[in-house]
Structure 1
C-alpha cells in the first residue's frame, strides 16, 4: 500500500472534521478503498454518503468516482520490497520514514513557530497517553534541562483534567501533545479541553489526517512503523528531539544558561561517572 501517495492527495487542503475522518479512513485502508463505492467508504468512516461526495469535490474532483480512479492510480504505484527477512525490512522501513522526515524539515517555518510557542510556556505540559507515554517522558527528560517547569501528563481520567487546569493556572500558554495510533480518545479529549482553556497546541502525530491534527494549532508529523507486531516509533522520537532543538533555538540564551547550570549541578553531585 502506498500510504504516502494517498496522504499527498490531501496536502494543503483545509478539511472539516468529517472530511478528516474520511481522509483518515482512506489512508488506513488505501488499497481496499480504491475499489470501494462511496456508500462503502461512508460506512467505513462512519459518515453519510453525501459527505463522501462533498469530500471528493473539496479535493477538486467531480465526484467520488473520479477520486476513486485517482486512488487506484496512486495505490498501484508499488515500490519493490527491500531484501532480507521481515525484521530487516521493518528496520529499513524506519530508515525510509526518517528520510521522509528529513525532507519535511527543509521548510523550517512551522517548526520554528512550534518552538516559539512551546518555549514561551511556563510551565510546559507534555501530553502522552498509552503508547505515546514513553515518548512524552523521553522528551520531557531532556526538555527539563533547558526549561524550568516541564509537566508530563501520562495518565488519563479525572486527574488529567485536574493537571491541565493546574498547569493553566500556573501560567501555561501552550502544550505539546504526542498522539500516536491507535489515538486514545482521552488524548483527543485532553487536547479539546486544553484549547477551551486557551492553550495553544503543538502536536506530534503520524499523519496530516490524524485525528489529533484537528485540535492542533501546529501538527508535526512522522510516520509510525507498522511492519512488526507492535508499532515502531523511530521517526516520532527523532521528531521530538527536533522540536526540542527548535525550543532551544527560540530562546538560545536561556537554554545555554540552564544547560550550564545543569552541568554545574551534576558535576557537584557527581551524578555521572564520565
Structure 2
C-alpha cells in the first residue's frame, strides 16, 4: 500500500462528503489523479477545484502538487501482472505453468468486463458502425496495434474503414467527416493527447464517437458519445489488450449478424481483390 493510500484510510471517516469523493477517485483511479489538474479532477467528479486541493492538506501533505507527485510515482511503478512472473518463476513452475496463469487471468478480466457491459450501448455501437457512411479509427502508442487490427478486420466485413495516423493528409480527410460518420478512438493510460484532440474535434463536428478505454472516467470519456471500458484487477495497458480484443471480436460478430449475406459478398470481394497479395 502506498503512503497516500494509508493516509486516506486513516483519515477517511473525518473527511467531508466532497473530500470523500476526491479520495475515492484517488483510490479507485490514481492514474486519473496523476494526469489531470485539480480543476479538471473537480469537473470529472462534480466538486470544486478547492475541494481537490483541500484533500491534500487534509491527509497531511503540504500541497496538492506534493500529493500528485507521489501518486504519479506510484502509477508509473505499476507493472503488468505479465511482467511480474519473471520474479516468481520458480514458484510459478511449481504451482502451474506461466501460460496457465496468464491466460486464466485474462479470462477473469474478460469476465469482469463482460459483466459491466450495457447491452443497449453495445447494440447501439453495432448499429452505428454498421450504418455509418465512413468509419475512422484512431489509436496511438500502445493502442495502435489494436486500432490497426480492428480497422483491417472491419474492412473485410463492411469496407470504408480508415485508420488515422495523424499525418497532414489524415488531418485534411478528417475535415470531410460529418454526422453520418463514426470515429472509434482507442485511448489507454497514459492517454495520448493526439487521440483526445481528434475525438474532441470530430465530436464537435457531430461525428459519432465511440471511445474504448480502461476507465469510465478516463480523458476520452468526455469526448465520446458511447464509452466502453475494461474492468481489470488493476491498471495495466498490457493486461487490457486481451480484454479489448475479445470485446472487438464481439463487435465484429454483431456487425456480421446484422446482414450475413452482405458479409459473404464483402468477404468474397475482399478475397478476390487481395488474393495475389497472400501466400494462400
Distance 1:21 1:163, change over 3 A: farther
1:164 alignment counterpart = 174
Structure 2: 5+ residue stretches without partners: 2-20, 49-54, 60-90
Structure 1: 5+ residue stretches without partners: 2-19, 31-40, 58-63, 69-82
Secondary structure in 2 matching 1:231: helix
1:140 alignment counterpart = 151
- Tell me the CA shift for residue 24 of structure 1: 5.7
Give the counterpart of 1:101 among 104, 110, 113.
113
**Alpha-carbon contact 1:22-1:45 (below 8 Å) kept:** no
1:210 alignment counterpart = 218
Give the counterpart of 1:47 among 13, 32, 38.
38
Aligned residue runs from structure 1 range 228-247, under 5 A: 231-232=238-239, 233-247=241-255
- Tell me the CA shift for residue 133 of structure 1: 0.8
Per-residue CA deviations over 1:168-218 (Å, capped at 9, x if unaligned) read 17x852111111111111111100011112200111111211111111111
**How many aligned residue pairs are there?**
218
Secondary structure in 1 matching 2:209: strand
2:134 alignment counterpart = 123
Larger Rg: 2
TM-score relative to the length of structure 2: 0.62
Give the counterpart of 2:121 among 110, 113, 137.
110
TM-score relative to the length of structure 1: 0.64
RMSD: 4.2
Q: Give 1 or 2: higher helix fraction.
A: 2
Write the distance in 2 (CA, Å) between the matches of 1:164 and 1:21.
37
Write the distance in 1 (CA, Å) between the matches of 2:250 and 2:166.
27
**Alpha-carbon contact 1:115-1:249 (below 8 Å) kept:** no
- Tell me the CA shift for residue 91 of structure 1: 4.5
